[in-house]
Structure 1
Amino acid sequence: MTTGEPASSAIVFPAMGPSRFADFSRFMVANAAARERFAVADEVLGHSVFDALRASDDDYSEVAQVTSFVTSLALVDWGLATGRQAPADYCAGVSFGKLAAAAHADVLPFEEAVRLVAETARCEREYFAEHHSDIVTHSFVKIGPEQLDALLAELAAADEWYELSSHLDHDLYMVSLSERALDGFKKRIGACGGYSLYTMRPPAHASIFQPLRDRVEQDVLAGYRLRDPRLPIVSDQDGSLVESAEQAAEWILGGFVRPMRWPGIVDTLAGRGVDRIAIVGRDRLLRRLKCTVDNFTTSTLAPDSALKPAA
């Protein structure tokens, strides 16, 4: 915390995890804030999100993304209404979570944000159906910066394409690479004392996806008029503050081609006197990271919590 600067708080919308009907169904129907938000989403999309999620078997489908997004905003509504969450001074969105952060900061109205989430998901699905079927994004832990450099140097020496896609903590990273190189990369991670976590298909956050970024800009985002955020947003790409509509557009689009860097968010928030963060949604990662624990007191707004009786 900066000396003499009063303590403040932030609300963080994490990356999206697998979103299944069983994870959200009770919250969607039992929580008043969720019922209100999903009713609006149903009207915007012209169908029942609840029914579409129940019929879906894809954890990252368009309806899964809409559900995760709407749930995040409903959880904030619930937290504010019940006093479990106070209005925050800053907000941040990690990867997919940036769209919830944008809506929370009033970069665009909720109704338009729902459409934006659905249209972006559709655009991504169509793009990856045609391109990069041989590229994956792999996450791993217990590998420090020097070990990471050595592993990436080995890929380069073997003439394998790669890009760093996410930096989550001092020893937790995500790398995009060719699927043909994945098994060997995982073996080298293990030999260095690291642990492989999961592999994402389709991949994310790499400059090779510039055509997707351009397609979303031209075919999706061009149909929306963004506004200046009502509170500062901390970029998940470089820790800078997003304070204008123009910056918000570049930040949203940058998520397709630039690596996500959680420590950058942490450094900016801590440097501005933030000592408390609330993480929204079904987060199993950010609140446990060393850089998070070392800098903040963390609370969680999660669907399970919202279904428990008030103490």
Structure 2
Amino acid sequence: MSTTAFVFPGQGSQRIGMGRELMERRTEFLESHYRVADEILGIPLTELCLRGPAEELRAMPVTQPAVFLTSVVAHETLRGRGVEPDVVAGHSLGEFAAMVAAGVLDWTDGLRLVRLRGELMDSVHRETPGSMGAVIGLVPADLEGLCARAAADTGEVVEIANHNDHRQVVVSGRTGGVARLLELADEAGAERVLTLAVGGAAHCSLLSGIEEEFGRALEALDLRDPVVPVVSAVTAAPVRTAHEAADCLRRQFTSRVRWVDTVLALADSGVGDFVEVGPGKALSKLCGRIRPEAAVYRTNDAEQLDRAVAALGAVTAQGAGAR
């Protein structure tokens, strides 16, 4: 019998109005989560999620807690309707929501962490402007050499940041280095190259200077061993202890997101159903491209969430009967 993975999206999945339908269906979330988040962070996060403006919502210190909070609420909605994961994972920022779902973190501590994460990443970008770019149609082995050439040509850092699916790789670094890499990838026969609107670099050595401060914030928290299995996209391997969880969350700043390896590891463990828990639909598309035979569900609006509950509720009921 196949099992179910909840996968949590990262930065880039934000949109004005995210979470609105979930909040309208379960109005208690307004007080239990959204107003609490506003008070903890000292910003009008609820208003920004619901009404923007888009430019402010895209800012890293806002985007990251906004996506995280929406994912946490979507997870609580699924739990309230009897749908539980067998295993969880998250793409970049999404790993924090996955750790909440796994019982490693309280959601309020996770909220503070992702706010700090966004602030630290934004501070790096202000001092050392960076960017990210996507390359479609070349594999990491092709891009390793092109990154080295682009770095040599420009004297700027550019590295592979995400291996998102079998044909999509994201690079990150200084703006000039990324631009040169995209030129070289285009010349090398990439189907498509594009600069991503993410507000700065991520998952590269430019961010090494903020790991220590973030590590201290993690050490100050009471993290727990996972009670739900969790696979980290930093290692594409199970996280078994609180110490391992903290290490993976800290290493995110400079480590590659190994999403292809993570999805394949989940599938190899028996996962046949992937549920994207949070705003957007990009992550479910990636999972579907990596494992075309898998069933993929979304929770980015009430209708999609209902479909997931209907399908997985039936699977859960059948599985319970079989046992």
TM-score (norm 2): 0.82
* Pairing partner for 2:122 from 115, 122, 125: 125
1:73-127: CA deviation from partner (whole Å, max 9, x where unpaired): 11122223235xx211110011010111111112121222222222332233234
Q: Distance in 1 between matches of 2:120 and 2:224?
A: 23
- My pick for the range that moved more, 236-245 or 160-169, is 160-169
Q: Distance in 1 between matches of 2:176 and 2:124?
A: 21
* Pairing partner for 1:39 from 23, 35, 40: 35
Q: Distance in 1 between matches of 2:190 and 2:304?
A: 39
SS at 1:204's partner residue?
Answer: coil
Q: Distance in 2 between matches of 1:89 and 1:307?
A: 18
Q: Distance in 1 between matches of 2:194 and 2:289?
A: 19
1:134-184: CA deviation from partner (whole Å, max 9, x where unpaired): x32211212234543453353255364321111112221011233224444
Contact 1:27-1:306 at 8 Å conserved across structures:
no
- My pick for the range that moved more, 222-231 or 90-99, is 222-231
Q: Distance in 1 between matches of 2:183 and 2:154?
A: 18
Q: Distance in 2 between matches of 1:21 and 1:257?
A: 29
Task: Quote the offset at 1:188 in angstroms.
Answer: 3.0
| 1:38-187 equivalences in 2 (<5 Å) | 38-46=34-42, 48-53=44-49, 54=51, 56=53, 57-58=55-56, 59-83=58-82, 86-130=83-127, 132-133=128-129, 135-145=130-140, 147-155=142-150, 158=153, 160=155, 161-187=157-183
* Pairing partner for 1:208 from 206, 209, 232: 206
Q: How many residues end up aligned between the 2 structures?
A: 301
Note closer, same or farther for the CA distance 1:60–1:304 as it changes in structure 2 (3 Å cut): farther
SS at 1:21's partner residue?
Answer: coil
Percent of pairs with identical residues: 25
Contact 1:34-1:71 at 8 Å conserved across structures:
no
SS at 1:196's partner residue?
Answer: strand
Where structure 1 has 5 or more consecutive residues not aligned to the other structure, the ranges are 1-5
1:286 maps to 2:283: yes
TM-score (norm 1): 0.85
Contact 2:150-2:180 at 8 Å conserved across structures:
no
Contact 1:99-1:113 at 8 Å conserved across structures:
yes
1:12-62: CA deviation from partner (whole Å, max 9, x where unpaired): 002221534344445445543642321332343355422355465321342
Structure (1 or 2) with the greater helix fraction? 2
1:11 maps to 2:11: no
Where structure 2 has 5 or more consecutive residues not aligned to the other structure, the ranges are 311-323
Q: Distance in 2 between matches of 1:205 and 1:152?
A: 14
